[in-house]
Amino acid sequence: MRISALSATAALVVATLAGGAAPATADTPAGPVLRVDLEAGKGLHHNTGTVLYERVDGEVNSVRIISVSIVSGERDCAWVSWNDPHDVNGWTNLTSEPSCHGTGLGENPDRIIKAPAGHPLKVRLTADHPGSDVVHKDIEKL
């Protein structure tokens, strides 16, 4: 009887170890979905933006951009961008086009952005009045 109890325990340990040794699936979420709200300007020049993202598990200074939405002011065009250390101008747009003249824009880029360690990732809502030098900005850290 003692041998069968020992065999059952050994079988349980082997099964547990085998199950724990299996690699994690690629579909395992990296973490909670986080949200950054952006706002720039007032009145007819009130622009808003939202970025939903999650941290990339195991990566330093990397996030996956899930969605970006923008609502521009009635007299503005607005973009959401990130502070790309590899871009000549320092910022890369997260949407394919701006939101202009009170319209809304929503995109789901499902895009990973990365920066070297020590470079704080940020997003920026920039809105301008076409034909003018007036620019509204809001910058938030990811």
**What are the tens digits of pLDDT across the range 87-113?**
999 999 999 999 999 999 999 999 999
Start-end of H helices in 22-114: none
Residue 12 in domain = no
Range of the domain at 136: 33-141
Among 109, 96, 45, CA closest to 71: 45
Residue 4 in domain = no
Assess contact for 48 and 96: CB atoms under 8 A.
Answer: no
Quick one: pLDDT at residue 30?
56
Which residue in this structure is represented by tokens 């622009």? 47
Residue 7 in domain = no
Residue 8 in domain = no
Across the strands, what pairs with 114?
62
Assess contact for 91 and 124: CB atoms under 8 A.
Answer: yes
What DSSP element (H or E) covers 26? none
Residue 19 in domain = no
Residue 59 in domain = yes
Q: What angle do CA 134, 142, 86 make, to 5 degrees?
A: 70
How many structural domains is the chain composed of?
1
**What are the tens digits of pLDDT across the range 42-75?**
999 999 999 999 999 888 899 999 999 999 999 9
Residue 132 in domain = yes
Stated pTM of the model: 0.76
Residue 48 in domain = yes
The conformation of residue 24, written as its DSSP 8-state character, comes to: P
Q: The CATH number of the domain where 64 resides is what?
A: 2.60.40
What average pLDDT score do residues 113-126 get?
A: 94
